[in-house]
């Protein structure tokens, strides 16, 4: 007897998907060109063709459980080659945008991150917190723009011990907890995926082995961005992501050293570094290198994004993150320059904007595109665990490697 299975499309889901960048799915006529040209798609059940038909049919369950959306690096080759202009690369990005929004609570944050109309609320949270602090400390100092010994000193208005460290410490705990919940949700979803046998490929024994491989082979080299193509846009994307990554890594190390020496210096004066640091201090030098890398990365990615916008392939989600990182970088540099120049009014304002933007970058991380730092790395590691990989043979070394 023939089994009849009914397809139950989720119309709300299709509408939501179209809002976050998947508006062209209906144009697809299943020619499979996109799956053929995709440099990262595995041979078996290749993407993004199957995602296109799932999206057309509103098969939400299949799409939200799909590990392949995380394997796509949005090189755009499939969208360029699609004869119908259905933009499959944008659909894959839209699926990830929806995932960032829904993987972890509170759900209102995911909703606020998805539309420009909620941006004022996202800004207002840190803006009000730091304005209240400024008002209180300004009253204590007798001036909202104090100068100590002829120098601008940010800690007079925003004392690290009572304002910056506790607020960012709490934000960091909130973010770690949210990522943990998101990863657990992803794991639950991925556990339903079948394991694949790939000739010549040995699956890592544990998720930790897989994570080590992904960090070594992909995160540190950004190899997949490089493999995406040779064209100007592909190179801009590769260089932009790589420099941004190392810029953030340098600034993360600086922040960790400053926090550690600050608190350890309370107990053991040996660790005390003395602030503000002189320009030749290695930690200061590293901070400046990090800032330069950040700016180089931002220039590359902004150029690419502008090119994509001409092709109608950028969304608010893309611009939100890029814009925010620009504000973080420029306000940080301005805070330093204005402090040297002793222009108190503008210096404190720049520092205030810097604190607000850094708060937005950190506290909303799991719901922003930057959440891929965690979710994509986990998904890539899990994909290796189940053999969902695309492989190639290096004939010189006679060795099989994961693309
Ligand atoms: S998205 Fe375009 S290339 Fe891919 S199957 Fe549909 S029509 Fe063909
Ligand atoms: S955007 Fe690139 S990586 Fe993603 S599905 Fe298309 S071709 Fe593959």
For residue range 247-272, list pLDDT tens digits in order. Answer: 999 999 998 898 888 888 777 777 77
Ligand 1 touching residue 88 (CB < 6 A) = yes
Residue of 22, 34, 36, 38 to test ligand 2 pocket, by largest number of atoms within 8 Å of CB: 38
pLDDT tens string 268-280: 777 777 766 777 8
pLDDT for the residue numbered 3: 60
Lowest pLDDT segment from 4-8, 72-76, 209-213: 4-8
Lowest pLDDT segment from 2-16, 24-38, 153-167, 212-226: 2-16
pLDDT > 70 fraction of the chain, expressed in percent and rounded: 92
pLDDT for the residue numbered 162: 83
Confidence of residue 399 (pLDDT cuts 50, 70, 90): low
Ligand 1 touching residue 31 (CB < 6 A) = yes
Of the listed ligands, the closest to the CA of 26 is 1
pLDDT tens string 94-121: 899 888 888 888 888 888 888 889 999 9
Ligand 2 touching residue 137 (CB < 6 A) = no
Range 329-360 burial, b when 16+ CB lie within 10 A, else e: bbbbbbbbebbeeebbebbbbbbbbbbbbbbb
pLDDT for the residue numbered 311: 65
Q: What is the C-alpha to C-alpha distance for residues 86 and 27, in angstroms, rounded to an integer?
A: 5
Q: What separation, in Å, do the N-terminal and C-terminal C-alpha atoms of the chain show?
A: 43
Query: Which two three-digit tokens encode residue 371?
Result: 């959440």
Q: What is the DSSP-derived secondary structure letter of residue 163?
A: I
Nearest atom in ligand 1 to the alpha carbon of residue 35 is 4
Whether residue 197 is predicted with pLDDT greater than 80 in this model: the reply is: no
Residue 265, H or E segment: helix 232-267
Confidence of residue 403 (pLDDT cuts 50, 70, 90): low
pLDDT for the residue numbered 313: 62
C-alpha 57: how far from chain center: 29
Of the listed ligands, the closest to the CA of 233 is 2
Q: What is the DSSP-derived secondary structure letter of residue 42?
A: -
Q: What is the C-alpha to C-alpha distance for residues 17 and 26, in angstroms, rounded to an integer?
A: 12
Whether residue 123 is predicted with pLDDT greater than 70 in this model: the reply is: yes
- Domains, the chain, in order of start with CATH, read 11-102 (1.10.1060.10), 108-402 (no CATH)
Ligand 2 touching residue 77 (CB < 6 A) = yes
Helix (H, G, I), strand (E, B) or coil at 393: strand
Residue 227's φ and ψ, nearest 5 degrees, are -70, -10
Nearest atom in ligand 2 to the alpha carbon of residue 47 is 5
Q: What is the C-alpha to C-alpha distance for residues 51 and 66, in angstroms, rounded to an integer?
A: 9
Ligand 2 touching residue 42 (CB < 6 A) = no
Query: Which two three-digit tokens encode residue 137?
Result: 């400390």
Nearest atom in ligand 2 to the alpha carbon of residue 89 is 1
Residue of 24, 25, 27, 28 to test ligand 1 pocket, by largest number of atoms within 8 Å of CB: 28
Q: What is the C-alpha to C-alpha distance for residues 88 and 82, in angstroms, rounded to an integer?
A: 8
Taking residues 4-27, report their average pLDDT.
74
Whether residue 148 is predicted with pLDDT greater than 90 in this model: the reply is: no
Q: Which of 104, 154, 134 is nearest to 363 (CA)?
A: 104
pLDDT for the residue numbered 393: 64
Taking residues 140-164, report their average pLDDT.
86
Query: Which two three-digit tokens encode residue 279?
Result: 């320009």
pLDDT tens string 290-341: 999 999 999 999 998 888 766 656 778 888 999 999 999 999 999 989 998 9
What's the 3-state SS for 277-346? CCCCCHHHHHHHHHHHHHHHHHHHHHHHHHHHHHCCCCCHHHHHHHHHHHHHHHHHHHHHHHHHCCCHHH
pLDDT for the residue numbered 8: 67
Query: Which two three-digit tokens encode residue 257?
Result: 């050293």
C-alpha 372: how far from chain center: 5
The pTM score is 0.85
pLDDT for the residue numbered 187: 93
Q: Omega before 106 cis (within 30°)?
A: yes
Distances from the Cα of 201 to the Cαs of 38, 208, 389, 390, in angstroms? Answer: 21, 18, 9, 10
Q: Residue 399 forms beta bridges with which residues?
A: 394
Whether residue 2 is predicted with pLDDT greater than 60 in this model: the reply is: no
Residue 306: how many other CB atoms lie within 10 Å: 10
Ligand 1 touching residue 309 (CB < 6 A) = no
Nearest atom in ligand 1 to the alpha carbon of residue 29 is 7
More confident: 215 or 272:
215
Residue of 23, 25, 29 to test ligand 1 pocket, by largest number of atoms within 8 Å of CB: 29
pLDDT tens string 156-179: 899 888 888 899 999 999 999 999
Distances from the Cα of 211 to the Cαs of 374, 375, 376, 390, in angstroms? Answer: 11, 12, 11, 17
Q: Average model confidence (pLDDT) for the chain?
A: 87
Q: Which of 127, 128, 70 is nearest to 95 (CA)?
A: 70
């Amino acid at each position: 007897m023939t089994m009849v299975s009914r397809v139950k499309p989720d119309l709300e889901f299709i509408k939501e998907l179209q809002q976050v960048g998947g508006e062209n799915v209906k144009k697809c006529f299943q020619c499979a060109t996109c799956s053929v040209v995709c440099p990262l798609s595995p041979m078996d059940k290749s993407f993004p063709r199957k995602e296109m038909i799932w999206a057309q049919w509103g098969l939400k369950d299949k799409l939200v459980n799909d590990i392949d959306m995380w394997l796509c690096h949005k090189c755009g080759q499939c969208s360029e080659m699609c004869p119908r202009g259905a933009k499959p690369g944008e659909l894959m990005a839209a699926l990830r945008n929806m995932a960032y929004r829904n993987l972890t609570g509170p759900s209102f944050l995911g909703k606020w991150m998805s539309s420009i109309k909620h941006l004022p609320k996202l800004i207002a949270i840190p803006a009000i917190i730091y304005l209240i602090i400024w008002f209180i400390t300004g009253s204590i100092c007798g001036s909202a723009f104090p100068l100590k010994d002829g120098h601008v000193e940010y800690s007079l208005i925003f004392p690290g011990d009572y304002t910056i460290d506790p607020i960012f410490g709490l934000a960091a705990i909130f973010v770690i907890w949210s990522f943990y919940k998101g990863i657990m949700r992803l794991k639950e979803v991925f556990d339903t995926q079948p394991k694949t046998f790939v000739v010549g490929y040995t699956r890592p024994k544990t998720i930790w082995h897989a994570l080590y491989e992904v960090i070594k082979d992909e995160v540190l080299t950004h190899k997949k961005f490089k493999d995406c193509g040779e064209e100007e846009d592909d190179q801009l994307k590769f260089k932009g992501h790589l420099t941004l990554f190392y810029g953030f890594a340098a600034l993360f190390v600086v922040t960790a050293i400053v926090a550690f020496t600050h608190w350890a210096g309370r107990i053991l004066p040996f660790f005390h570094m003395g602030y503000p640091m002189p320009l030749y201090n290695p930690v200061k030098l590293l901070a400046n290198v990090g800032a330069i890398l950040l700016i180089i990365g931002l220039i590359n990615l902004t150029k690419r994004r502008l090119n994509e916008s001409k092709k109608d392939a950028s969304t608010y989600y893309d611009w939100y993150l890029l814009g925010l990182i620009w504000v973080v970088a420029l306000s940080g540099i301005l805070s330093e320059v204005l402090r040297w120049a002793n222009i108190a009014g503008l210096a404190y304002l720049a520092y205030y904007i810097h604190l607000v933007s850094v708060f937005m970058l950190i506290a909303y991380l799991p719901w922003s595109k930057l959440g891929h730092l965690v979710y994509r790395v986990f998904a890539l590691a899990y994909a290796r665990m189940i053999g969902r990989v695309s492989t190639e043979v290096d004939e010189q070394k006679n060795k099989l490697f994961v693309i």
